Amino acid sequence: MLAVLSPGQGSQKPGFLTPWLDLTGTEARLRWWSALAGVDLVHLGTAADAEEIKDTARTQPLLVAAALLAAEHLPMHDVAVTAGHSVGELGATALAGVLSAETAITLAGVRGREMAAACALEPTGMAAMLGGDADEVLAAVDAAGLYPANRNAAGQVVAAGTLAGLDKLAAEPPAKTRVVRLKVAGAFHTPYMTPAEESLAALTAGITPSDPTRILLSNLDGSAVGHGRDMVQRLVRQVTAPVRWDLCMRTLADLGVTGVLELPPAGTLAGLVKRELKGAGAPEIVTLNTPDDLPAARDLIARHGGTPGPRPTPAFQVVVAPAPGTFEPAAELAEGVHVRTGEVIGRVVTGQGPVEVTAHGTGVLTGWLAPHHAPVAPGQPLARIGGPA
């Protein structure tokens, strides 16, 4: 089984689209998409320097365009799974048939502009925390008044929030943890991006999505999304919710994925998969960066593509917080108990009152993922439900 991955912000490099313009029709397509995104994608992908393509408003549509351009030269009908990191989810969602390429590019342009505008409202930033004990790292993030914006893999958490909080974290890092400040415009995937989320929600209300034609994984909780409207709502929520790429990779393993292809600009996600999914069942990985890599990519799809038999689904689901507040689990529920779809498993107490948390699948409550009666952020995993009951 083959998975195609679409990378997120930070993976771009100056001139990385230049060799693709030699392919017939590519420049014309980029010029059309530029009109939709509100930026010059041809210039950004070929002549712009590193500083220019670091701009959130420019980078986000550029990355989505790169992934969709490359995918046009692949036999995508044989691809079983798509997933993307952060803005890469827009590319993955289009490749799964939920959105048209034009809609994904347009949304990427709006998302980039609105997130850049949100960054300008208050000085914020992000820092990567490498190594250390996971619980200690998350506790330190919380103690500094920050948010765990990205949980990319074991030993790789990205904290985000105020500059003072980031300074405190750097001055008092957890044991065996290295803190690296990231050169970004603000605190992505945190409540600081609320204005961008609201703008995106207003725009997407007019979209009529299709249901996915292949397995499409969500950054929100690593689960496979079966309905187009659900995925669009998740894309909107993801602007302020943490990116759980660690859970996406766990789902790749649960699905039995044997081949992984990363679209351009490739390398970052392939590296994470290679590090996390090791051993006898480790997938074969190919990175697609230039047209010269297309033969290897097509060969990988030929050998690992297709979905014989019933389409598999992940062996678990993760229930996430619907709003910021304090999590209170249902008193009568304990790990090992069977729950049903729609059953209330707890609530998040917010400033506007309690919000019920319900199971979106039937199965066994295999574990609580958030401390009871502790503050939670929107999109934060609360409980894991495994296997059908």
Q: Which fold has domain 316-386?
A: OB fold (Dihydrolipoamide Acetyltransferase, E2P) (2.40.50)
Choice among 15-19, 293-297, 347-351 with the minimum mean pLDDT: 347-351
CATH topology for 2-118+191-304 is Malonyl-Coenzyme A Acyl Carrier Protein; domain 2 (3.40.366)
Q: pLDDT tens digits, residue range 14-48?
A: 999 999 999 999 999 999 999 999 999 999 999 99
Catalytic residue among 6, 86, 199, 218: 86
pLDDT for position 311: 46
pLDDT at 128: 94
Q: Phi and psi at residue 2, in whole multiples of 5°?
A: -110, 140
Catalytic residue among 189, 218, 223, 304: 189
pLDDT of residue 53 exceeding 90, the answer is yes
Question: Residue 69's pLDDT is what?
Answer: 97
Q: Above 80 in pLDDT, residue 85?
A: yes
The confidence score (pLDDT) of residue 322 equals 72
Q: Find out whether 9 and 239 touch, Cβ atoms under 8 Å.
A: no
Q: How far apart are CA 8 and CA 272, in angstroms?
A: 13
Is pLDDT larger for residue 287 or for residue 335? Answer: 287
- Percentage of the chain surpassing pLDDT 70? 96
The CATH class that applies to domain 124-181 reads alpha beta
The DSSP string of 31-90 is: HHHHHHHTS-HHHHHHT--TTGGGSHHHHHHHHHHHHHHHHTTS-GGG--EEEESTTHHH
For residue 58, the 8-state DSSP code is H
pTM for this prediction: 0.80
**Whether residue 360 lies in the annotated active site:** no
Give the residue, 92 or 281, on which the prediction is more confident: 92
Spans of all domains in the chain: 2-118+191-304, 124-181, 316-386
Classify the C-alpha dihedral 165-171-176-182 as positive or negative: positive
Closest CA to 213 of 11, 78, 49: 78
pLDDT confidence band for 316 (50 / 70 / 90): low
